[in-house]
A and B are shown apart, each in its own frame.
Chain A
Amino acid sequence: MLSELLRSLIQNWRLPVLVALAYFLFELPELFTGWPWYYEEINDKLTLAITLFTIATLASSWNILAGYAGQINLGHAAFFGIGSVVTRELWLTKDYPFNEAFFYGGGAAALAALIVGAPALRLKGIYFAIGTLALAEALRLTIGSMYPGVSRLPGPELRAYELTSRYELSLKVLVATVFVSYFLSRSKLGLGMKAIREDEAAARSIGINVFLHTLFAFVLSAFLAGLAGGAFAYYHYSYNQIYTFGPNWTFDALLVTFIGGPGTLAGPLIGSTFFVLVRDYLAGTSELVDTHLILFGVIFILVVLILPGGLVDLSTRISRWFLRRTRKVFR
């Protein structure tokens, strides 16, 4: 009985670790209240954390379709953008309560994925990637002319503005995305997706409905990106609506997922932490601002060439190397 409990804990160690980590992150701002440097630095730290959570959510949600189901979507920013623009417009212009506007934002992104996915997922591989990129760009230009100018928070919202609730919302969206990925990867649906990623023809021959599986992954991934967009609309007090549709959101998500390890739970999280921290550090130095683009381009190429499993794979490789060494010593 006890040993069984222990074994299941060892096999499922990820879940308690994730729950503990999420709990710790929710309590983190509270924890630092009262520290001497609290009022000077906390806003910078919270802003950095919100940026990290946003990119981590985009990467994890992108990973659902790319890492598990094997389809590269280059239009992910469109769903982030749809989530933010719908949330922002309903909340600020149409006076919806924020929570409602937020879920409509996610829903609108999911609906868009359903409409786009039905024809686009008939395309495969590179054609699907190009198709989604083209659609996202077309949408970006349309939104740019529909909502020109800057969207600002109105007076009352601006006066009540504080970062902790923004921090909490973007963390909630990230936690939801990670837990959805966790349960998906161990479900029948997730197993079917992995089979499609491995060998689509073989997946078809064992009776997997390839189209429905990839469409489901696409819609789910878009819904979560839409929620991230909603959280962004809540967080930013003034920005151009076109900004959230920028292809940089897609490529950041793609980059950090490949650096961290595609098709894994931890990969997008590790990759985005690495990315955001290094970028923040470089931005703080006067002469290296924006060099992160070059640096991460190089890292991306190196990881793909040398470590195709991403940074996550590094730990397994090190432990394997270590085991081999110790075995030699004992022989």
Chain B
Amino acid sequence: MLKLDNLHVSYGDIQVLWGVSLEVAENSIVALLGSNGAGKSTTLKTALGMMRPSEGKVFFRGQDITKKSTHSIVSSGLFLVPEWRGTFSTLSVLENLELGAFSSRARPLKDETLERVFTIFPILKDRQAQRAGTLSGGERQMLAIGRALMARPAMLILDEPSLGLAPLIVSNIFEVIQQINEEERVTVLVVEQNVHMALKVASYAYILENGSIVGQGTSETLLSDQQIQEAYLGI
């Protein structure tokens, strides 16, 4: 569904990505793992058209989207939940959700999708009139995911969904990610530092280090790999 082919990306003179390639198959959950500064966020920004690669291509559903603008990529069905959540704190929960259904593709289905989002996250229904800025960290992450679902995405990219959340809420969020993948047939790319959690839900994973992919494999092989265990799982 999503294919990054040999991406080279620089910020000015400093090159950050050195030939990153990865592929996410339809209806799968794939994890992109790596520590701070490995280039995870840059990879995502490039996929969404927020940064331009100096070399390489991005394909979504077989189409070359490398040079497309972010809003047209989003309306074609690829949606990012940013690391900083990106919820609009002075707007109400309901307004935030409505903003998710901004594209003309998702707009007509808005009411129906809203019902489904409220079933997945009942807390958002209770809080719909509240300002998003008054929500807790976990609720804000749910709002960010709920808003993404409002767009009726074919594929979701989640940037560090566990960041700054309590362990109990983290496992809750990952359960929802699995549920979205199974019930709503949404393809997921999850970018994480929480390797344990990510490998639990993902079927396949890539490991990014210093701007290049240094390892990949199914979750089982990675979990049993000695090197991975030492470097990322602290076992």
Q: How many residues of A contact B (CB 8 A)?
A: 17
Give B76-87 as 1s and 0s: 1 = Cβ < 8 Å from A's Cβ atoms. 000110101111
Cβ < 8 Å to B, chain A residues 198-230: 198-199, 201-210
Please choose the segment from B11-19, B94-102, B219-227 that sits at the chain A interface, where 4 or more of its residues have CB less than 8 A away: B94-102
Chain B residues whose C-beta falls within 8 Å of the C-beta of A191 in the assembled complex: 91, 95, 98-99
Chain B residues whose C-beta falls within 8 Å of the C-beta of A199 in the assembled complex: 86, 88
In the complex, the answer to whether A201 meets B82 with C-beta atoms within 8 Å is yes
CA distance A61 to B70 in the complex (A): 29
In the complex, the answer to whether B50 meets A205 with C-beta atoms within 8 Å is yes
* Contact partner, B91, options A195, A201, A204, A205, Cβ 8 Å: A195
Count of A-B contacts with CB under 8 A? 64
In the complex, the answer to whether A206 meets B75 with C-beta atoms within 8 Å is no
In the complex, the answer to whether B50 meets A204 with C-beta atoms within 8 Å is yes
* Contact partner, A192, options B70, B90, B99, Cβ 8 Å: B99
CA distance A191 to B107 in the complex (A): 14
Give the Cβ gap from B150 to chain A, nearest Cβ, in Å. 9
In the complex, the answer to whether A202 meets B86 with C-beta atoms within 8 Å is yes
A194 within 8 A of B: yes
In the complex, the answer to whether A194 meets B48 with C-beta atoms within 8 Å is no
In the complex, the answer to whether A195 meets B99 with C-beta atoms within 8 Å is yes
Q: A194-B91, A198-B90, A199-B88 are in contact. Are A205 and B82 (CB under 8 A)?
A: yes
B116 within 8 A of A: no
CA distance A208 to B151 in the complex (A): 12
B103 within 8 A of A: yes
In the complex, the answer to whether A204 meets B70 with C-beta atoms within 8 Å is yes
Chain B residues whose C-beta falls within 8 Å of the C-beta of A320 in the assembled complex: none
Chain B residues whose C-beta falls within 8 Å of the C-beta of A209 in the assembled complex: 69, 71
* Contact partner, A195, options B70, B82, B88, Cβ 8 Å: B88
Give the Cβ gap from B158 to chain A, nearest Cβ, in Å. 12
The closest CB in chain A to the CB of B95 belongs to: A191
A188 within 8 A of B: yes
In the complex, the answer to whether A207 meets B88 with C-beta atoms within 8 Å is no
Chain A residues whose C-beta falls within 8 Å of the C-beta of B179 in the assembled complex: none
The closest CB in chain B to the CB of A205 belongs to: B80
In the complex, the answer to whether A207 meets B74 with C-beta atoms within 8 Å is yes
CA distance A19 to B87 in the complex (A): 35
In the complex, the answer to whether B74 meets A206 with C-beta atoms within 8 Å is yes
Give the Cβ gap from B130 to chain A, nearest Cβ, in Å. 15
CA distance A292 to B214 in the complex (A): 67
CA distance A70 to B80 in the complex (A): 23
CA distance A201 to B50 in the complex (A): 9
In the complex, the answer to whether A207 meets B70 with C-beta atoms within 8 Å is yes
In the complex, the answer to whether A205 meets B89 with C-beta atoms within 8 Å is no
B8 within 8 A of A: no
Give the Cβ gap from B101 to chain A, nearest Cβ, in Å. 9
CA distance A201 to B103 in the complex (A): 17
CA distance A208 to B48 in the complex (A): 13
In the complex, the answer to whether B102 meets A205 with C-beta atoms within 8 Å is no
B interface residues with partner A (beta carbon < 8 Å): 48, 50, 69-71, 73-75, 79-80, 82, 84-91, 95, 98-100, 102-103, 147-148, 151
* Besides A205-B48, A205-B86, 5 other A-B contacts (C-beta < 8 A): A194-B95, A202-B82, A202-B88, A205-B82, A207-B70
The 6 closest A-B pairs by CB, nearest first: A202-B86, A207-B74, A198-B88, A209-B71, A207-B71, A205-B80
24 of the cross-chain contacts (CB-CB < 8 Å) are A188-B102, A191-B91, A192-B99, A194-B88, A194-B90, A195-B91, A198-B91, A199-B88, A201-B50, A202-B82, A203-B99, A204-B71, A205-B70, A205-B82, A206-B100, A206-B147, A206-B148, A207-B71, A207-B74, A207-B103, A207-B151, A208-B71, A209-B69, A209-B71
